[in-house]
Structure 1
Amino acid sequence: MTKKKHGWYEEGKVRVNISLTQTSIESLDRQATRLGMSRSELIETMARQEQSLLPEEKELLGKLSAG
């Protein structure tokens, strides 16, 4: 189900489920609180920032996530 348009973006949000460790959830909550935004908005911002990464940064992130 798509929600109404939200915030600065010209598209609706879609509900998704993700699984995170308790440590990650607490970290997201701290960061969101510090920035004055919701956990959802923080994740949205982080995901959209990937679009502006340089190719070398994307490659490094891929290596880090591969473990």
Structure 2
Amino acid sequence: MAKQNLEQQAYDYILHLITSCQLADGEFINQSFIAAKLKMSRTPIRNAIARLAGEGIITLFPCRGAFVHRRIY
């Protein structure tokens, strides 16, 4: 249960960054920075990013990382 809560927290935080224009279209999503900010490991961050990628909000590039695909207003 705690894992799901951390993943949801990370999801909500990243989505907030995108919708509040703190992350622009095409901007790199720094997993380490977000993990440090939320005081959690990178695993829930990666899971949240994968979920957002599945929704088409983030684009994942192998060996490059995750980038904002489009903002949701």
Q: When the two structures are superposed, what TM-score results if normalisation uses the length of structure 1?
A: 0.37
Larger radius of gyration, structure 1 or 2?
A: 1
Higher helix share: 1
Higher relative contact order (CA 8 A, sep 6+): 2
TM-score after normalising by structure 2: 0.35
